[in-house]
Amino acid sequence: MPELPDVTVYRERLQAMLAGEPLLAVRLKSPFLLRSTAPPLELAIGRKVVQVHRLGKRLCLELDGELLLVLHLMIAGRLRWKPKGHPVADRAVLAAFDFPHGTLLLTEQGSKKRASLYVVQGLEALRAFDRGGLEVMASTVADFAAALRRENRTLKRALTDPRLFSGIGNSYSDEILHRARLSPVTLTQKLGDGEVARLHRAVIDTLATWTDRLRAEIGEGFPDKVTAFRAGMAVHGRYRQPCPDCGSPVQRIRYADNECNYCAQCQCGGKLLADRGLSTLLKGDWPRTLADLEELRRGP
């Protein structure tokens, strides 16, 4: 799922490319994309783009008269910039937004179509889409601590909860926790003030670093290759590869449709975290440390 750095760069490039441009047409290929009925989508045709907003992981195209198109890309949704009138024959294309100098495609890979488009009237209507999470980049340590300790959750769950923090998802939470040298399963209310301050700084540094990297990669172009797995990440998507800081193999915990990647040495004092599936299967044979894991892999 595109997270704060990706959505920020999307917003910046769309703002630069579309501000003042009229929306000439919307070719809606998937009727399930549009989740609202009033105002009608046809009202957007001919109106100029005034501003592009980011709301959490959502993008909001504000048109003349405060008519807004609210896009949520979900896990597999992506935006593509193509020459004007680009065809929508590809199965992954959900909609095409035609402008005088090009076409913005909304695509979604896979069979589960979760991306959404809402048409709303007035900036006040955006409140319905605001999950209430803290915008960490502009926050103080005190603001961050209050949000973090609102519920007693694991750090991984807390950072990815949009009611607590805005724009952070599975990928960058792994990177943040590695930078902060904190275990993903540590409970929020067990952190000391120093650890909270360290985590706050890790969030800001990680998100700022990756936003700057993406800006540098894109330049004056458009981010056509948004992915959750990027070269240069420390742990996310790097299972069994060496940690860039200590060289120990990156570990993972699988849960639902996601996985959590971490360095047992840097974040957990060398202890392995129990994977729900494997630890249940192995029970008493589940390795507790990296040394135990290596011995298990070597076999008798």
Rounded to an integer, the average pLDDT of 1-18 is 96
Q: Identify the pLDDT of residue 296.
A: 42
Lowest-pLDDT choice from 32-41, 85-94, 284-293: 284-293
Higher model confidence: residue 30 or residue 98?
Answer: 98
> Does residue 184 register a pLDDT over 90?
yes
Q: Is the pTM of this model over 0.75?
A: yes
Q: CA-CA distance, 14 to 27, in Å (whole number)? A: 18
Alpha helices per DSSP H over the chain: 4-18, 141-148, 155-159, 170-180, 193-218, 264-268, 276-282, 290-298
CA 259 to CA 106: how far, in whole Å?
26
Over 90: is that where the pLDDT of 65 sits? yes
Neighbours of 174 (CB within 10 A): 29
pLDDT band per the 50, 70, 90 thresholds, residue 295: very low
The CATH number, out of the four listed (1.10.240.10, 1.20.140.10, 1.10.8.60, 1.10.8.50), of the domain defined by the range 136-291: 1.10.8.50
What are 201-259's pLDDT values in tens digits? 999 999 999 999 999 999 999 998 888 889 999 999 999 999 999 999 999 998 766 78
* Percent with pLDDT over 90 in the chain: 82
- Angle (deg, nearest 10), helices 193-218 and 4-18: 40
Domain topology for 4-129: N-terminal domain of MutM-like DNA repair proteins (3.20.190)
pLDDT at 279: 46
Predicted confidence at residue 97, as pLDDT, reads 98
Residue ranges of the domains in the chain? 4-129, 136-291
State the Cα–Cα distance between residues 118 and 226, nearest whole angstrom.
22
Q: For 93-111, what is the mean pLDDT? A: 94
Nearest alpha-carbon partner for 128 in 63, 56, 66: 56
